[in-house]
Amino acid sequence: MTNKKTVVAAFVASCSWLAISMPASAQEAERKIVSESAGKYDIPAQSLDSALAEFARVSDADLLYSSDLVAGKRSSRVSGDYTPTEALRRLLNGTGLSLTKVSANVFSLQAEGTVSAGDGTGTPVAGVVRDALTGSILPGAEVSIIGTDLTTTTDERGFFYFPEVPAGATQIQVSYLGDAPARYPLSGDAYERERMSVMFGDTGDEIIVRGFQSSLQKALNQQLRSDNNATVVSSDLLGSFPAETVSEALRRVPGVAFGRNDDTGEGSRITVRGFSSEAINIQLNGLELQGTGFERTIDLSGFLADNISQITIQKSLLPSHESSGSGGLVEIETKSGLDYEDGLTAQIGIEGETNFDRDFGGEYQINGLVSARLAEDFGVVATVQYRKTDRLNYGADIVSSLPPVLPAGFTSLTFVPASQQFPFDPEISQPLDTGVSYLKRDREEENLTASLNFAWDVSPTTNLRLDLQRIQRDAYSETARTTASFLTSAVDMPIPELGGEVRRRTVLASLRPNLAFNVTDLSTETNNISFRGTTNLDRWNFKYKAGYSRATSRSNNANLSALGTAATNLTDLIDPATIVLNPDDDAAMTQRVVNGGIIYQPNGLPVLSLTDAGLAYLNDPANYALTTASKTLSNSPTDAYTLEGSVRYQPAAEFIDYFEVGAKWDRSERKANDDVFATTSTGSLLSVESYIRIFGRDTGLDAFGTGLVDSSALGDIGADIFRAPFLTGASVDAIFAGLPNFLTDDPSTTFNEQRFTYTDRRSLDPILDSGGLVPVKTIEDKTAGYFQGKFNLGDFELIGGARYERVYRSGQTLAAPSVRLASGATEPRETFVQAGLVQFTDLSGTQDVWTPSMIVNYRPMDNLVARFAYFRSTVNPDFRLIRRSRDVILDLRSTVNRATIRESNPDLRPTKTDNYDFDISYYFDDTPGLIRAGFFYKKVKNNFTNVFFLDGDDDSVREDILAYFGDLATARPDLVAFDADTEFLRNRPENGDGGKIYGVELEAIRQLTFLPGRLSNITLLGNLTWTKGDFPTLVSGRDDTGTLTQFTLDRPLADQAEWVYNVSASYEEGGFEGRVIYTYQSSTADVFEIHGLDQELPSYDTLDVRLNYTFDLGPTNMSIYLQGDDLLRGSNEIDLRRAITSEFNGNGSSFYFPDIYQFNGGRTITAGVRVRF
């Protein structure tokens, strides 16, 4: 906590310091003027007459102008080292005056010429702005026609367009943050006016460095000129963050947190402004990315950063944006064939990464790029990036009983009313640790990202772009799990901590370990085809888009489980130095083991506290018998189609910028080979083949061969003295090869050779057999239309409109009843099949939603903008809520006597969010940088209440069940033999109450040009996001009468980090660039429990460093870089992944119990080289 407050305080202080610090000696290496000597200027914005007098005094220049010319005008601020000509040009910026150099140190001032319609017929003016040094496009540059009020901004292609410019206009001006404005002649020829190629900036013999500063300049220019609040991360800026995947890089961006893969610890998803990844719309080259199966979350672990041109996070949405982005709209763009210089360009890079402890493995990466400008208006670029990973990591999951002692009068935690909160007794506030589950995971992964782009400027008015993208991930992992744990029993016994009061207590009863081995062979692919175009006709602008996307996820997996024999002689097995015994009050005064089975190593790793005999027992392969062996398959393809178009009209009226209307249609079809809501990383896939042990006929692992169990120390993670057994990779083939020998009995022998039953679910009919695979299909068909307009009112801009969306959803499910009769017998499925009650059904629903949007921008200065936005956005329902099978479950036994309907709800309305966004940003104009503060407030309605696993009373359940059974209820009244005590429940997701999310974003970026010498090359970056949520969360529990009900808890959203901040320093000089960055993300809620035993994902921080040197070697440009990641964590230091905590429950208690540990190898070092031809 102290560390967080210190960093926050330092960040706020830095913002204040940067805000008042004025540059005094800016170094303008890229803009050299050799005919004049540079001097130091520090002239604040003031009346123009006073500013000119100050300029004349500092520069010793003579100025020729009339007093009427400057009356009532204000100057721009000038601060830095400039030649007199450059300093005067900057001072006059925005005044409507221009200068002429009469002779050395003599300047005359005059009004910029005005152009009227009488100067000739208006014609279009169009072109592209590029960097004169590198040839790359410059999006976000401001282009204006001198002598007129006409101004526009270059788009993401660096393209600008004026529908009508007076023929008398002779100059254009280009303004770009970080550089002085420059003017260029405007030809009088109509043909040339529509084909301008503006090379902005100086050329020279300097080394071309594509690094942090140049990318930051490109990003900030786009943010400044944007109509809405957006954060832009350009390609080189993305690469300057020490990260390899998109999600890991974006966590450095204000407002963004990231989620980590449960198995690997790597970043795989992002959250934006408090909303989880399911509420974020992610697009690739204009196409919405699709998940597979039931998941909307986009796994970004396969999106490698080197393949990307730019990422834009739209935080306030316009009507032209997708409304289903309450967290934000993330637009990923790959490289374009017209982004590069003329001719042929090639680039290749290679890098390798390893942990400081090389036992944890490593990876290498190769990337290549070839671009060809086959003509001035046609370019092709192909990129490919390949990464090969071979990693080892460990996990340790604590098995515990919490609470170990129940409140008086209760025999199970499920019956304790919600009014009682943990700790129930202050004397017993710790869990009873009953075991540790150790994991050893070997992972081999290959990532391939490839793209092909064709960009064609068909004419000055039409631009076309075709993008082909393939993202492939093949991951093979072998996970050995050893659950070294004690079986427990619940005993009513005296509790010494409570003065001998008799309570129900959990005690250790026997040592019974378990071995498991899982093989996961997963392949995911995303293939996108995107065609986009823009056409300008006079004052009309047409945009059109068509696309197809296919995402697939396939896996082929194997699972083994072996159970150890139970050992009850715990006093011989547990170290006597740690064992805790309490006497029972039975006649024998039985000594119960109430604690001491688990101890902790110096680094915090839990291990079993065993004697030599205990360790020998745990590691003896002869103690383990195979219980199950199974194989699982998953196959989940998604196909999506998109058509979109818009028309924008730019009227001649000065206060109207444009009117725009647009329409979009998209359709997605998701399929899965089974309706179970699980993946290789979520839930449990249904086995397609399984071998199940016949109870009482144990088969030891030695029956399948030798060398199947390896007993090894856990020295890599800090437990040198503790050894644990693990199944080996060889056990999978050996066991599956041997299992067919144990399926039938040989009558000629005296013992029974049949030890297992075998089931192949691929051959089962899901109608006739409940174990059969149930193929499913879900369709979403969306039609949208919008209107949008922009108005200029002095220093104010108003952009607003509304969007309408109509969404049709349908899902195929299997409906089936299950009845446990009053006698205890289970009714055969055949009864319901014959009655026609087991059948596939299609559920469908349609929702309509309007989402208005209004944004007001105030621009009192060229480099200052304040934004206020209101917009409505939506979140689509989880597929588990709209495609779940309908189950009618009756248990008529007197001890249960319950009837339940569990069903989906395709009529769920989208969650609606009313968003309010205020943002003010000041951009430094001498070097790329800004100071920014923003506030956001999100009011959420129609929230999807978390009732998927919860039951609620519903009196209509009885009538629905009787109607569903129909004639069968009449013919077989015993199937529906309800009585007055029968409990009727319905489990159906519904739109519930909403909540609110609010927060603050602060950001500062500044090059320290006011420092002397080389210190002026340092750039500081800091951003901080504070997010708070207030949401009613439904949790199941008992009231004080013992009735099962639902309680509304006031909790934050899951995956919502309250604090996220980054602090970074970079240094650039010549071809060298160095960067160090610290990132912190606070804990997030994961699962809420009615007694306050909530689960959280703990806080996470990293310190990363990147060093890069770029130089020319003949015609080749080379970069060599060295990178260190996660430098705060050693190889055997714990990476805590889950804990049970009181942080979010608000009941006044304070406890924190670590639950899941992970060891990913800690610090890594990466070295690489890139060559550009």
Q: Which residues pair with 811 in a beta bridge?
A: 778, 843
Question: Among 423, 337, 352, 348, which residue's Cα sits nearest to residue 382?
Answer: 337
Summarize the confidence of residues 818-827 as an average pLDDT. Answer: 94
Q: Which residues pair with 503 in a beta bridge?
A: 493
Summarize the confidence of residues 465-472 as an average pLDDT. Answer: 95
**Cα separation, 893 vs 161, whole angstroms:** 77
Residues 389 and 522 in one domain: yes
Residues 451 and 398 in one domain: yes
**Cα separation, 679 vs 379, whole angstroms:** 41
**Cα separation, 514 vs 565, whole angstroms:** 9
Pick the most confident of 16-25, 286-295, 717-726, 943-952. 717-726
Q: For the domain that residue 162 is a member of, what is the CATH number?
A: 2.60.40.1120
Q: DSSP assignment, residue 474? A: E
Q: What is the DSSP string of 950-1011?
A: --EE-TTHHHHHHHHHTHHHHH-GGGG---TT-EEEEE---EE--EEEEEEEEEEEEE-TTS
Q: Which residues pair with 1119 in a beta bridge?
A: 1110, 1170
Domain range for 95 is 31-111
Cα-based distances in Å from 394 to 100, 304, 517, 580, 1132: 72, 25, 14, 30, 10
Asked if residues 1153 and 1140 have their Cβ atoms less than 8 Å apart, the reply is: yes
Residues 188 and 72 in one domain: no
Q: Per residue in 386-424, pLDDT tens?
A: 999 999 999 999 999 999 999 999 999 999 999 999 999
Residues 651 and 599 in one domain: yes
The crossing angle, in degrees rounded to 10, of helices 48-59 and 84-92 is 170
Asked if residues 411 and 475 have their Cβ atoms less than 8 Å apart, the reply is: no
Q: Per residue in 552-586, pLDDT tens?
A: 999 999 999 999 999 999 999 999 999 999 999 98
Residues 933 and 813 in one domain: yes
Res. 246: pLDDT tops 80: no
**Cα separation, 926 vs 30, whole angstroms:** 12
Helix (H) or strand (E) holding 712: strand 709-714
DSSP strands (E only) in 285-359: 287-288, 308-314, 328-334, 343-355
Helix (H) or strand (E) holding 891: strand 887-891
Q: Give residue 103's pLDDT.
A: 66
Residues 53 and 148 in one domain: no
In a domain, 190, yes or no: yes
In a domain, 457, yes or no: yes
Q: What angle do CA 535, 799, 271 make, to 5 degrees?
A: 95
Res. 679: pLDDT tops 70: no
Q: What percent of the chain stands above pLDDT 70?
A: 92
Six-digit token pair at 127?
A: 């072109």
**Cα separation, 1167 vs 1157, whole angstroms:** 29
947 falls in which pLDDT band (50, 70, 90)? very low
**Cα separation, 210 vs 212, whole angstroms:** 7
Residues 100 and 125 in one domain: no
Q: Give residue 952's pLDDT.
A: 55
28 falls in which pLDDT band (50, 70, 90)? very low
Question: Among 750, 765, 749, 625, which residue's Cα sits nearest to residue 691?
Answer: 625
Query: What is the three-class DSSP state of 156?
Result: coil
**Cα separation, 920 vs 928, whole angstroms:** 17
Asked if residues 179 and 201 have their Cβ atoms less than 8 Å apart, the reply is: yes
Please, is 752 exposed, middle or buried when counting C-beta atoms within 10 Å of its C-beta (0-12, 13-18, 19+)? Answer: middle
Residue type, 314: Q
Summarize the confidence of residues 336-357 as an average pLDDT. Answer: 89
Establish whether the linkage from the previous residue to 513 is cis, with ω within 30° of 0: no
Q: What percent of the chain stands above pLDDT 90?
A: 57
Residues 939 and 894 in one domain: yes
Res. 209: pLDDT tops 50: no
Q: Per residue in 658-668, pLDDT tens?
A: 999 999 999 99
Q: Give residue 211's pLDDT.
A: 56
Query: What is the three-class DSSP state of 651?
Result: coil
Q: Per residue in 865-883, pLDDT tens?
A: 999 999 999 988 777 777 7
More confident residue, 517 or 7: 517
**Cα separation, 668 vs 638, whole angstroms:** 7
Q: Which residues pair with 375 in a beta bridge?
A: 378
In a domain, 2, yes or no: no
**Cα separation, 211 vs 239, whole angstroms:** 8
Which of these three, 340, 365, 397, is where a domain ends? 340
Q: What is the DSSP string of 106-136?
A: EEEEEEPPP--GGGS--EEEEEEEEETTT--
**Cα separation, 939 vs 993, whole angstroms:** 11
Establish whether the linkage from the previous residue to 423 is cis, with ω within 30° of 0: yes
Residues 188 and 229 in one domain: no
How many CB atoms are closer than 10 A to CB 159? Answer: 20
Torsion of CA 957, 963, 967, 972, to 10 degrees: 0
In a domain, 713, yes or no: no
672 falls in which pLDDT band (50, 70, 90)? confident
Res. 779: pLDDT tops 50: yes
Please, is 1108 exposed, middle or buried when counting C-beta atoms within 10 Å of its C-beta (0-12, 13-18, 19+)? Answer: buried
Q: Which of 195-209, 351-365, 1053-1067, 1079-1093 is predicted with the least confidence, judged by mean pLDDT?
A: 195-209
**Cα separation, 745 vs 724, whole angstroms:** 35
- Work out how many domains the chain is built from and give that number: 4
DSSP strands (E only) in 747-795: 756-760, 776-793
Q: Which of 320-334, 676-690, 1011-1025 is predicted with the least confidence, judged by mean pLDDT?
A: 676-690
3-state helix, strand, coil in the chain (%, to 5): 15, 55, 35
In a domain, 1057, yes or no: yes
**Cα separation, 596 vs 496, whole angstroms:** 16
In a domain, 1110, yes or no: yes
Backbone angles phi, psi at 1162, to 5 degrees: 65, -135
Region of 201 (left: φ > 0; alpha: ψ -120 to 50; beta: rest) is left
**Cα separation, 801 vs 657, whole angstroms:** 14
**Cα separation, 310 vs 1005, whole angstroms:** 19
Residues 126 and 105 in one domain: no
Q: What is the CA radius of gyration of the chain?
A: 34
Question: Per residue in 324-359, is it b (16+ CB within 10 Å) or e — as a string?
Answer: bbbbbbbbbbbbbbbbbeeeebebebebebbbebee
Residues 105 and 122 in one domain: no
In a domain, 969, yes or no: yes
More confident residue, 1034 or 999: 999
Residues 6+ apart with CB under 8 A from 876: 296, 324, 780, 807, 910
Question: Among 911, 760, 767, 786, which residue's Cα sits nearest to residue 839?
Answer: 767
Mean per-residue pLDDT of the chain = 87
Q: Give residue 260's pLDDT.
A: 78
Q: Per residue in 500-535, pLDDT tens?
A: 999 999 999 999 999 999 999 999 999 999 999 999
pTM: 0.83
Q: What is the DSSP string of 1091-1144?
A: TS-EEEE--EEEEEEEEEEEEEETTEEEEEEEEEE-TT--TTS-EEEEEEESTT
In a domain, 742, yes or no: no
Six-digit token pair at 790?
A: 């922009």
Residues 281 and 412 in one domain: no
Per-residue HEC secondary structure of 658-706 comes to: EEEEEEEEEEEEEEECCCCCCCCCCCCCCEEEEEEECCCCCCEHHHHCC
Helix (H) or strand (E) holding 832: helix 829-834
Summarize the confidence of residues 1076-1101 as an average pLDDT. Answer: 92
Query: What is the three-class DSSP state of 91?
Result: helix
Q: Give residue 114's pLDDT.
A: 59
Asked if residues 265 and 1158 have their Cβ atoms less than 8 Å apart, the reply is: yes
Helix (H) or strand (E) holding 882: helix 879-882
How many CB atoms are closer than 10 A to CB 311? Answer: 24
Q: For the domain that residue 327 is a member of, what is the CATH number?
A: 2.170.130.10
Res. 27: pLDDT tops 70: no
Which of these three, 154, 171, 200, is where a domain ends? 200
Six-digit token pair at 316?
A: 């306030």
Please, is 1165 exposed, middle or buried when counting C-beta atoms within 10 Å of its C-beta (0-12, 13-18, 19+)? Answer: middle
Res. 293: pLDDT tops 80: no
Which of these three, 83, 111, 139, is where a domain ends? 111
Question: Among 90, 126, 114, which residue's Cα sits nearest to residue 166?
Answer: 114
